[in-house]
Structure 1
Amino acid sequence: MPRDVLLDPPVSTWDTAPDVAAATSGGPADVGLVVPLVVGGDGAATAALGAVGLDPAEVLATYEPERTVGAVTAVPLPGGGHPVRRVHLVGVGAGSAADWRRAGAEAGRATRRRPAVVHALGGAADAVALAAWTEGAVLGGWGAPAWTADGAVARTGPAEATTVVTDVRDAVEVVRRSVVVARAQLLARSLAMTPSNVKDPAWMADRARLLGDRHGLDVTVWDETALADEGFGGLLAVGGGSASPPRLVRVDHAPAGAVPTTPRVVLVGKGITFDTGGLQVKPVAGMVGMKTDMAGSATVLAVVAACAELEVPVRVTGLLALAENAVGGGSYRPGDVVTHYGGRTVEITNTDAEGRIVLADALAYADAELDPDVLIDVATLTGAARVALGREAAPVFGTDDDLAAELVAAGESSGETLWRMPLPDTYRAVLDSDVADLRHFAPGVGGGAVLAALFLREFVGPRRWAHLDVAGTGRSDVDAGTAAKGATGFGVRLLLRWLEETR
């Protein structure tokens, strides 16, 4: 059976070795050697270059490689004498974790076409740097799948990767966990990059079932009949105009030895598999990238799927709120009143603000039925988030200062930047409605990301809750750093980092 490159994004087979000679013996005859250059230290570079028969001083003097973060200088080797065919000198700057991650990504990008690569970190990297470099190399070595007559075809990096590292305790485990985390992010990217004529709510639900079977997760799916029977009016409204009915998917991870008192975290992901804007249809330019409007649900699914491999110590439930916001005879309209799960009514004032409508159902269900200790949602929710913070940082809103601070810290550690944003109660009045409990959108008011978060807060009850608006960071316009052009999978690394530290 051909490999499913969407559910199992191919990455290199990673190993560790004590030195370059051991890493290259018995392997392919066309190896790329990556050598990091840290400002103020050339010990690792000297050892690696000497191991392939080069004079380190002569190479550095001749090629004058830059040491700025991510700068790559290629040094070709003559054939016949050594399996290494090209040396890539990669600048690591001052050597912070962020520097190592970005440098690793550029190394991965530069060596995509090599059958095998040796990363000669030597004694230059500690455990934190090793993890960051490995994550970066896996992410940088990935390219978005291409769709052919035979289906999705992977664009992947080297088949084999070996890290030469010394003085790092449990280096093999550090590398393994880093690859698991990066591969989870690639899963989120692959799902988000799938064309919407392939990917509809039922398709996403099937992917969740397949991943559940693979990772030992419990999976429950509500189809349109079950959604109607149980009162999920938001999902039904948004999905009403599409020939592909909505779905709600629940995915559960329970750690070994879990008991009822084991903490439970619920992650909710926006899953709009394509967004036309509904009856208030988007302009062409705004619709082109809307296959990625389910990136929040892809992130949540990827995180829960990785929990078993990482032995995350808490119960984690993922809820995927899946619908296609299309134009049709059943489309919901401005002025409609929607009854959400639990009975709260909402006046519709903009059919292109559909993400918060499907999230409201899932959040209300989590509050009423799952009794979470922490509730977090992830969504490509508002253009205002991108206007405010661009592509490099995502706003985080929350009802608990400690939770928000923990998530910001996890983002700093993982290289995914969050910026705390306010939830001013003085803004809440603009969501009042004359015909329903509240309205979901306030035209012409401004502060769109804040108002969306205030709306979602209405459905979370007394829970410790945080909302990540990844409308800006969930997509990249360029192939650079750890990002590839298209969906980024933003949030996977920071949520896994936070979950691993949650007790």
Structure 2
Amino acid sequence: MTELRTVEFADVDLDTLAGAAGRLVLFVPGAGTIGTAARRVNRLTKGAVARAVESEAFGKLSEGEALVLGWPAGLAAEAVEIVKLERRADTVSLRKAGAGIAKRAAGATLTVLAEGQKAPEEIALGLVLRSWAFTKRKETPSDTPGKAVFMVKEVAAAQAAWVDAGALAAGVCFTRDLVSEPANVLTTTEFAAQLEALRDLGVEVEVLDEPEMEKLGMRALLGVGQGSESPSKVVTMRWKGGEGAPLALIGKGVVFDTGGISLKPGAGMEDMTMDMGGAGVVAGVMKALALRKAKANVTGMVGLVENMPDGRAQRPGDIVASMKGDTIEVINTDAEGRLVLADVLWHAQQAEQPAAMVDLATLTGACIIALGHENAAVFANDDGFAKDFLKAAETEGEGAWRMPLGKAYDDLIKSMKADIKNTGGRPAGSITAAAFLQKFVAEDMPWIHLDIAGVAQTPGETALAPKGATGWGVLALDRLVRMKFEG
């Protein structure tokens, strides 16, 4: 895993500010009232902080933006950042402020004067998430970012709060690392091994290999991977921290997707290393839950396959039997993720008897056409469950938008030769994919499908991440667990 920026919390020590190395960071609300530590920095810099705060430039800043005083006289620090931030800013604003600090600071050591902030751990979370970078495959990896010391009024309380926030940071960054790895490194076997390592955190892990899946009747999943040298696997992760039936999180883990016989165009195919993003999110959530010792029962289950063209590969026109028993006409071998999820969804219901299910997949390009890179598509068979997730996503600042389901869309995936076909064509592509998945969900099972094709990996930076893998979904699903499944 990428080494993350170290966060520490310490008592406010004004006498150390003059000699602090790296960058000093202080927060000033829009009204311009500076706190005790900021007043000390102001005196050391002979009034430079006050002049900056009183300036027209500071007044024009948006919340979370900063004025930077470079190489200030009277300090050893290379810069002082004056961040505009209200003392009672919401969680999303605090994290964005922390991310802004990270972006401006690069790898510098930081002393953050946070004595007036109600939730310094949230600023630290944003700081750590924006400091992440995937560089371990470079000949000369980037240096680990310097330590960030937060000076706070109540050290013990901040340290306790950081246990949960730090767990989230580790989970998000685990997801980002998995999504960023190339497929020649993150094979199905290596992916399973990394998930098995979660046993060290107290997660129960079980791995099904191809002969075991064959016995269970998972021909829809196995058909996708039959053209690859990498063996298909299903990995089940169980975190048992509560009582009652678990929440089941299901992830599509296609480590590389050429489209199979329905070969994708060459341009951009290298990005298909991220087609396991759903499984990556499930892995990140399970890690976060284990690290923070969540008082909930949650099962994560992922189908790990590779979709390649080969003499043994599945063909358009093939008909396969799912674990449920329904037969599927394969119209397009590039619509493979739903075949994987069909069997994993059914297996999760049979083996785990969950209270509810959420599946995640980088499933359709149509989702990106509809929602761009701002929102994941949310499909659900239960209005209350959908509302709960959307509230969780909004609380965590992760974009999500509910999309429709209905009989008219179901009709588009009827097959003349089998019970169902795996694509309904271009119209409503993301919706018919969700309609396909719904066929493998029991009618009385609360279920959400999240199409994360547009948000798992973005072409530009986001508020909390550089360009590339985002880890979208870890924060929202952890919040859903806290809200609805944690005692």
TM-score, normalised relative to structure 2? 0.92
Partner of 2:434: 453
8 Å CA contact retained: 2:11, 2:151? yes
Structure 2 residue aligned with 1:138: 128
2:41 corresponds to 1:49: yes
Deviations 1:276-300 (A, max 9, x none): 1111111122412111110110110
Q: Distance in 1 between matches of 2:348 and 2:336?
A: 19
Task: Report the secondary structure of 2:134's partner residue.
Answer: strand
Structure 2 residue 81 is matched with structure 1 residue 100:
no
Whether the aligned pair in 2 keeps the contact of 1:119 and 1:164 (CA below 8 Å) is yes
Indicate whether 1:218 and 2:195 are aligned: no
Q: Which whole-Å CA distance do the structure 1 matches of 2:158 and 2:191 have between them?
A: 36
Range with greater deviation from structure 2 (246-255 or 284-293): 284-293
CA distance in 2, matches of 1:410, 1:22: 42
Change (3 A) 1:59 1:247: same
- What is the one-letter code of the residue matched to 2:165? S
Q: Is 1:178 paired with 2:159? A: no
Residue in structure 2 matching 1:165, options 152, 155, 177: 152
Distance in 1 (alpha carbons) for counterparts of 2:262 and 2:280 = 26
Q: CA deviation at 1:420?
A: 1.4
Mapped partners of 1:23, 1:333: distance in 2: 69
Q: Distance in 2 between matches of 1:209 and 1:323?
A: 17
Aligned to 1:3: none
Unaligned runs of 5+ in 2: none
Deviations 1:235-265 (A, max 9, x none): 211111111121111111111xx45xx2311
Q: d(CA) in 2 for partners of 1:468 and 1:48?
A: 49
Q: What one-letter code is carried by the residue in structure 2 that aligns with 1:482? A: L
Aligned match of 1:38:
29
Answer yes or no: is the 8 Å Cα contact 2:219–2:322 preserved in 1: yes
The percentage of aligned residue pairs carrying the same residue is 32
Label 1:92 to 1:380 Cα distance change in 2 as closer, same or farther (>3 A): farther
Residue 325 (structure 1) aligned with residue 307 (structure 2): yes
The verdict on how the C-alpha distance between 1:402 and 1:113 changes in structure 2, with shifts beyond 3 A counting, is: same
**Which position in structure 2 is the counterpart of 1:421?**
403
Offset at residue 182 of structure 1 (A): 1.6
Q: How do 1:179-218 residues align onto structure 2 when only pairs under 5 Å count?
A: 179-212=166-199, 214-218=200-204
CA contact (8 A) 2:252 2:360 kept: yes
1:502 corresponds in structure 2 to: 484
Contact 2:321 2:327 in 1 (8 A): yes
Q: How does 1:146-161 map to 2 (within 5 A)?
A: 146-148=136-138, 153=141, 156-158=144-146, 160-161=147-148
Give the direction of change, closer, same or farther, for the CA distance of 1:88–1:485 in structure 2 (3 Å limit).
Answer: same
In 2 relative to 1, CA 308–51 (structure 1 residues): closer, same or farther, beyond 3 Å? Answer: farther
Instruction: Tell me by how many angstroms 1:489 deviates.
Output: 0.8
Moved more, 9-18 or 176-185: 9-18
1:460, 1:51 → 2: CA distance?
65
| Structure 2 residue 118 is matched with structure 1 residue 126 | yes
Alignment check: 8 A CA contact 1:400 1:465 kept: yes
C-alpha distance in structure 2 between counterparts of 1:176 and 1:328, whole Å: 48
Task: Assess, with a 3 A threshold, how the Cα gap between structure 1 residues 312 and 109 changes in structure 2: closer, same or farther.
Answer: same
For the pair 1:14 / 2:7, whether they are aligned, the reply is: yes
Contact 2:32 2:54 in 1 (8 A): no
> 2:458 is matched with which residue: 473, 476, 479?
476
Please report the RMSD computed on the Cα atoms of aligned residues, expressed in angstroms.
2.4
- Would the aligned equivalents of 1:20 and 1:118 in 2 still touch at CA under 8 Å? no
Deviations 1:358-380 (A, max 9, x none): 01110010112211001110111
Partner of 1:243: helix, strand, or coil? coil
Unmatched tracts of structure 1, length 5 or more: 1-5
Count matched residues: 480
Q: Deviations over 1:405-431 (max 9, x none)?
A: 111111111111211111122211111
**CA distance in structure 1 between the partners assigned to 2:121 and 2:329 by the alignment:** 48
Correspondence for 1:73: 67
SS of residue matched to 2:151? strand
Name the CA distance, whole Å, in 2 between partners of 1:34 and 1:475.
Answer: 30
Q: Does the CA-based 8 Å contact 1:233-1:340 persist in structure 2?
A: yes
- 1:346 correspondence with 2:328: yes
Partners in 2 of 1:11 and 1:52 — Cα distance?
32
Question: Within 2, Cα distance between the matches of 1:192 and 1:155?
Answer: 21
Residues 338, 346 of structure 1: 8 Å contact kept: yes
Alignment deviations for residues 302-327 of structure 1 (CA, whole Å, 9 cap, x no partner): 11122122222221111111111111
Map Cα deviations across residues 110-142 of structure 1 (whole Å, 9 max, x no partner).
Answer: 22321x21222331x323xx3432221111111
Q: Which one is further off, 97-106 or 453-462?
A: 97-106
Partner of 1:287: 269
- CA distance in 2 between counterparts of 1:423 and 1:379 reads 17
2:331 alignment partner AA: T
Per-residue CA deviation, residues 132-187 of structure 1 (Å, 9 max, x unaligned), is 3222111111112241469xx466422x2122334799222223321211221011
Q: Determine the C-alpha separation between the residues in 2 that align with 1:288 and 1:280.
A: 16
Task: Tell me the secondary structure at the aligned position of residue 416 of structure 2.
Answer: coil
Are the equivalent residues in 2 in contact too, given 1:274–1:324 (CA < 8 A)?
yes
Q: CA deviation at 1:98?
A: 2.6
Amino acid at match of 2:135: P
CA-to-partner distance for each residue in 1:381-435, whole Å, 9 max, x for gaps? Answer: 1111111111111111111111111111111111112111111222111111111
